Amino acid sequence: MSGPFRFDGGPIDRSVSLAFRFDGRSLSGHPGDTLASALLANGVRLVGRSFKYHRPRGVFTAGSEEPSALVELRGGAWREPNTRATVAELFDGLEAFSQNYRGSLRRDLLAVNDLLAPFLSAGFYYKTFMWPKSFWERVYEPVIRASAGLGRLSGEADPDSYDKGFLHCDLLIVGAGPAGLAAALAAGRSGARVILADEDFVMGGRLNAETHEVNGRSGADWAAEAVRELASMNRVRLLPRTTVTGAYDHGVYGALERRTDHLAAANGKPRQVLWRIYSKRAILAAGATERPIAFGGNDRPGVMLAGAVRAYANRFAVGAGQRVGLFTNNDDGWRTAADLARKGVEVAAIIDARDRESVAEVPGARIVMGGRVTATRGRHGLKEVALATGERIGLDCLAVSGGWNPNVHLTCHHGGKPVWRDGIAAFVPGDLPPGMTVAGAAGGAFTTAAALIEGHRAAVEALGELGLPADAGDAPGASDEAANVAPFWHVAESRGRAWLDLQNDVTVKDVVQAHGEGFRSVEHLKRYTTLGMATDQGKTANVGALAIMAEQTGRTIAETGTTMFRPPYTPVPIAAFAGRSRGRDFRPTRLTPSHDWAAERGAVFVEAGAWLRAQWFPRPGETYWRQSVDREVLQTRGSVGICDVTTLGKIDIQGRDAQEFLNRIYANGFATLAVGKVRYGLMLREDGIAYDDGTTARLGENHFVMTTTTVNAVLVFRNMEFARQCLWPGLDVHLISVTEQWAQFAVAGPNSRALLGKIVDPEHDISNEAFPFMACGEVGVCGGAPARLFRISFSGELAYELVVPARYGEALMEALMAAGEEFDAVAYGTEALGVMRIEKGHAAANELNGQTTARMLGMQRMVSKRKDCIGNILSERPEMNREDGLELVGFRPVNRSEELPSGAHFLSIGAEAAMANDEGWMTSVAWSPELGHSIGLGFIRNGHARIGETVRAWDGVRGRDVAVEIVSAHFLDPDGERLRG
């Protein structure tokens, strides 16, 4: 023996000691221990304080259902609160801390709450803290929050990384106990693709916790051998430390694999991986959870589930006490007494609630049939229990068994309701998610023999359904253990509070009170008392509470029903859901071909969707963004500027009917566009609202290339694909995106032709005569590189867009700038682009806001009535064609030194700022370096007829009220002489 609580034998590796600390105290355990088993082995019983009343609590279970032994693990930014000590695998150097106390764990100042318990029952804060009203938010709630809650977050960013992944299988088996292992062996030996997932770090489930035999050998040995065999099969994937947390549609399951939680450090690898498992069939072999019996003081450290006491003894070689008692309503509980007695632990008493003959002789034990435990004593741990007869028995551990509940949770994730089965006094799965079957204890088959047979059979049946060969042999053999459970939920004669939900501190009395106050539905009961709402989701509490509720209402438990189980089965860190989508990895970034070139020159970037675009290029000495932008505009208008416009959507359109297709897509006509020409096009939605514009060039008889706005590139493509496939499947037209294929540069300004003359290969004539405004064609640049040239202008200047395959984009930018040196060429960003288009009066996203009609843009005559097109009919609705409707015009401040406020609403002089007087709004504003004052575009009622009129641009948000003059939207070169020059 290594200490008074550690036995000989068992699978614990005594040759290695693991040092760990609990609340700063140095302790040691061994490989194979959980933190809980190591604490018990060191005689630590007080592990934490309870949520509400700060009552001393210890280890209650040996699994993921643990409500009490919640600790903080690790330190600093790695600190993780509310970790169940029963599933935390021990490693060398583990640091654990108890939680939820003020002062010390043994002398918690907030234990005063326990004395105030009569005032803190279910729903107390709904009643107690009603007055004065304002105190709830400012006083009561902060105080309650400060004293409640469990562990503390570190308050720092999580330093670990997380990942996600996707797995596929014929058969997913959830749980690697006897049923799961039998199923995996049957399916694996038949050659099926199998995933076997278990939340434990050792597969085998209860076989490791019991002394049952399988195929004539110890269950634990058989399980280990089965796992070895499965591990050798290349189509079987074993996922230990993996909790299947949810059942979703189409056989998809969510599973959390804890990859490094059992290691001292993650070493840069993902701590946890959230798997999405695509299964053709699934077998739920999730086992069962033991339930307690409620009696006075049943939350004291030392009171534990009987199966857990057995697990600690058989699997971990740990005695949960040195003088142990048993309180049970079934035969299974008696096995705890037998197993402990075999280990040499003193079993002092067996109290069986059933009024029948003793199940077995246990030497030295006081056996009380028809007995009741009514109270416990012991400040920080159990010292004594009292029976209904008044008898007192000294114990340091009381093992309690109220029967077992099948773990039906995953069967309910599609809305299935569990059904009550009287024979085992428990809920079993009802309607199952498609593709799922249940085997073993999860379906109420509690004996080892039944679990093995059911698991084996479920696998063979699943393979049959999938049409896969089953070559599984016979199911492993074991014995059927007796259970004989007699429902017994709580001790009516209890003195002191009898606890149902240990994590949320809910008692039998709370449930009775909730009923007394009119709560009849279990869903209401849950929310009023908070029973089952803690991180353990009431795994040890729910059924007991339902039984109490049923008693109160005079209904059966079956009639009372359960609350709804939803994913996840056990807590999943938010970080695992986020996976690697943190910080810069949250989403991808799209870069233009000239991005690195721009970055090297100190460009300031702006996000445009996923794109990063150069916004402006500051030069030394420029301290304010508008200095850069003004310079870029003036240099472009004065000589030549270059802008990367690769982000525009580009769609290659080919087919015998491509022209007819475009004629129907665009509101304006495309039937007459000649080869070698470009045309501006406006697209309407089905409802007649303008949603995108751009240019389309005709490269050949059956070949067009369209540009869209950056933001609508995908939407336009999608809509056109829909039109092609669904609206007009008879047209021979084919689409493919070439947005990524081509690097595209606007070259604008009076010297743009001269600059391009140095870039475009000399055999291509780009004179005004040979290549006029709105011409396009294929050219060679820089000595033979393939390119396309479009003579189009967004700035209003003589301008071109030059396009090369993306791999040449960066080099072309360098070549253009080098060739432009003699012209003082400038690279300009999106701000200068915006200024120039506002000066020119071009509509952009600010104007195309989803409410805009062609008429509002002054383009109503473009909507051809000689043909059909998307949106044509609905664009004729009267309200969209009112004579006094909104029209796009320009605005300038009456006092030229004032800046215009974007988003301002237009009001007549003297009108009150009220909705009824609203005449429109300012969509875009810019400082025009050319004009030397602020300019704006906007929609105002009957705008064209009101040119010259003065109105107010009223901005209630910024508190601005500016007198503005209505002018033409074309601030510069209204006749377009520059762009045709």
Partner 1 sequence: MAETPLRARPALDGYNRTVGAVALAEVSGLALVSAAVPQGGDEAFAAALAEGLGASRPATGDSTAGDRHMARILGMQPDQLFILFESPDPDRPAESVLAALGGAAYVTDQTDSWAMLRIAGAGVRSALERICMLDLADEAFPEGRVARTVMEHLAVIILRDGADSFLLMSPRSSARSFLHAVELSVLNLSE
Counting contacts by CB under 8 A, is residue 434 touching partner 1?
A: no
- Binding pattern for the stretch 788-807 against partner 1, x by CB under 8 A and - elsewhere: ----------------xxxx
Q: How far is CA 874 from the centre of its chain?
A: 41
Q: Backbone phi, then psi, for 614, in 5-degree steps? A: -70, 125
Q: Please count the helices (runs of H) and the strands (runs of E) in the chain.
A: 23, 50
Amino acid at 259: R
Among 567, 655, 750, 757, binds partner 1 (CB under 8 A): 655
In the bound complex, what is the minimum distance in angstroms from residue 651's beta carbon to partner 1? 10
- Of 357, 416, 714, nearest to 561 by C-alpha is 416
Q: Which helix (H) or strand (E) holds 81?
A: strand 80-84
- Of 208, 200, 379, 391, nearest to 286 by C-alpha is 200
Amino acid at 837: R
392 or 580: whose CB is closer to partner 1? Answer: 580
Q: Which of residues 453-512 bind partner 1 (CB under 8 A)?
A: none
- How far is the C-alpha of 48 from the C-alpha of 37, rounded, in Å? 15
Counting contacts by CB under 8 A, is residue 652 touching partner 1?
A: yes
In the bound complex, what is the minimum distance in angstroms from residue 657's beta carbon to partner 1? 9
- Of 62, 72, 70, nearest to 95 by C-alpha is 72
Three-class DSSP category at 69:
coil
- Of 46, 45, 92, 48, nearest to 70 by C-alpha is 48
Q: Backbone phi, then psi, for 492, in 5-degree steps? A: -65, -30
717 or 971: whose CB is closer to partner 1? Answer: 717
In the bound complex, what is the minimum distance in angstroms from residue 735's beta carbon to partner 1? 8
CA dihedral angle for residue 801, residue 806, residue 808, residue 813, rounded to 10 degrees: 50
Q: Which of residues 596-615 bind partner 1 (CB under 8 A)?
A: 610-611
As a whole number of Å, the CA-based R_g of the chain is 38
Among 742, 745, 939, 971, binds partner 1 (CB under 8 A): 742
In the bound complex, what is the minimum distance in angstroms from residue 607's beta carbon to partner 1? 13
- Binding pattern for the stretch 245-284 against partner 1, x by CB under 8 A and - elsewhere: -----------------------xxx--x--x-x------
In the bound complex, what is the minimum distance in angstroms from residue 259's beta carbon to partner 1? 9
Among 132, 783, 910, 932, binds partner 1 (CB under 8 A): 783
Q: What angle do CA 116, 122, 128 make, to 5 degrees?
A: 65
CA dihedral angle for residue 603, residue 609, residue 611, residue 612, rounded to 10 degrees: 20
The two three-digit tokens of residue 666, written as one number: 């665009």
Among 117, 486, 558, 785, binds partner 1 (CB under 8 A): 785
- How far is the C-alpha of 351 from the C-alpha of 346, rounded, in Å? 15
- How far is the C-alpha of 212 from the C-alpha of 447, rounded, in Å? 10
- How far is the C-alpha of 399 from the C-alpha of 972, rounded, in Å? 90
In the bound complex, what is the minimum distance in angstroms from residue 588's beta carbon to partner 1? 3
Among 17, 553, 556, 589, binds partner 1 (CB under 8 A): 589
In the bound complex, what is the minimum distance in angstroms from residue 642's beta carbon to partner 1? 15
- Of 655, 802, 770, nearest to 720 by C-alpha is 655
784 or 959: whose CB is closer to partner 1? Answer: 784
Counting contacts by CB under 8 A, is residue 737 touching partner 1?
A: yes
Counting contacts by CB under 8 A, is residue 190 touching partner 1?
A: no
Bridging pattern class, strands 213-214 and 217-218: antiparallel
Counting contacts by CB under 8 A, is residue 215 touching partner 1?
A: no
- Of 206, 77, 67, 194, nearest to 570 by C-alpha is 67
Bridging pattern class, strands 373-377 and 366-369: unpaired
149 or 579: whose CB is closer to partner 1? Answer: 579
In the bound complex, what is the minimum distance in angstroms from residue 660's beta carbon to partner 1? 13
Bridging pattern class, strands 960-967 and 950-955: antiparallel
Matching residue, tokens 């996976």? 579
Counting contacts by CB under 8 A, is residue 811 touching partner 1?
A: yes
606 or 785: whose CB is closer to partner 1? Answer: 785
Counting contacts by CB under 8 A, is residue 588 touching partner 1?
A: yes
690 or 756: whose CB is closer to partner 1? Answer: 756
Three-class DSSP category at 355:
coil
- How far is the C-alpha of 551 from the C-alpha of 462, rounded, in Å? 41
The two three-digit tokens of residue 247, written as one number: 């059942």
In the bound complex, what is the minimum distance in angstroms from residue 51's beta carbon to partner 1? 36
- Binding pattern for the stretch 156-175 against partner 1, x by CB under 8 A and - elsewhere: -----x-xxxxxx-------
Counting contacts by CB under 8 A, is residue 585 touching partner 1?
A: yes
Counting contacts by CB under 8 A, is residue 660 touching partner 1?
A: no
Counting contacts by CB under 8 A, is residue 738 touching partner 1?
A: yes
In the bound complex, what is the minimum distance in angstroms from residue 199's beta carbon to partner 1? 21
For the beta sheet containing 690-700, the strands, ordered from the edge strand earlier in sequence to the opposite edge, are: 678-684, 690-700, 703-708, 649-654, 734-737
Among 133, 145, 228, 587, binds partner 1 (CB under 8 A): 587
# of chain residues touching partner 1 (CB under 8 A): 60
Among 634, 782, 874, 880, binds partner 1 (CB under 8 A): 782
Which of the ranges 32-40, 511-519, 737-745, 766-774 carries the binding residues for partner 1, by CB under 8 A? 737-745
Which of the ranges 198-206, 496-504, 652-660, 941-949 carries the binding residues for partner 1, by CB under 8 A? 652-660
Q: Which of residues 59-98 bind partner 1 (CB under 8 A)?
A: none
Among 808, 828, 906, 971, binds partner 1 (CB under 8 A): 808
In the bound complex, what is the minimum distance in angstroms from residue 725's beta carbon to partner 1? 10
Amino acid at 119: F
Is residue 289 a contact partner of residue 177, using CB atoms and an 8 Å limit? no
Which of the ranges 20-28, 54-62, 784-792, 884-892 carries the binding residues for partner 1, by CB under 8 A? 784-792
For the beta sheet containing 373-377, the strands, ordered from the edge strand earlier in sequence to the opposite edge, are: 373-377, 384-387, 392-394
Which of the ranges 207-215, 378-386, 811-819, 850-858 carries the binding residues for partner 1, by CB under 8 A? 811-819
Q: Measured over all CA atoms, what is the biggest interatomic distance in the chain, rounded to whole angstroms?
A: 115
In the bound complex, what is the minimum distance in angstroms from residue 66's beta carbon to partner 1? 30
In the bound complex, what is the minimum distance in angstroms from residue 273's beta carbon to partner 1? 8
Three-class DSSP category at 66:
coil
In the bound complex, what is the minimum distance in angstroms from residue 629's beta carbon to partner 1? 25
In the bound complex, what is the minimum distance in angstroms from residue 421's beta carbon to partner 1? 38
587 or 865: whose CB is closer to partner 1? Answer: 587
Among 377, 380, 601, 734, binds partner 1 (CB under 8 A): 734
Among 203, 365, 781, 940, binds partner 1 (CB under 8 A): 781
Counting contacts by CB under 8 A, is residue 718 touching partner 1?
A: no
270 or 406: whose CB is closer to partner 1? Answer: 270
Counting contacts by CB under 8 A, is residue 740 touching partner 1?
A: yes
In the bound complex, what is the minimum distance in angstroms from residue 741's beta carbon to partner 1? 4
Measure Cα distances from 647 to 92, 623, 975 in Å.
54, 28, 29
In the bound complex, what is the minimum distance in angstroms from residue 270's beta carbon to partner 1? 5
DSSP 170-207: EEEEE--SHHHHHHHHHHHHTT--EEEE-SSSSTTGGG
268 or 423: whose CB is closer to partner 1? Answer: 268
- How far is the C-alpha of 293 from the C-alpha of 502, rounded, in Å? 12
> Which residues of the shown chain bind partner 1 in the complex (CB under 8 A)?
161, 163-168, 193, 268-270, 273, 276, 278, 580, 585, 587-593, 610-611, 646, 652, 654-656, 702-703, 730, 732, 734, 736-742, 761, 780-786, 804-812, 815
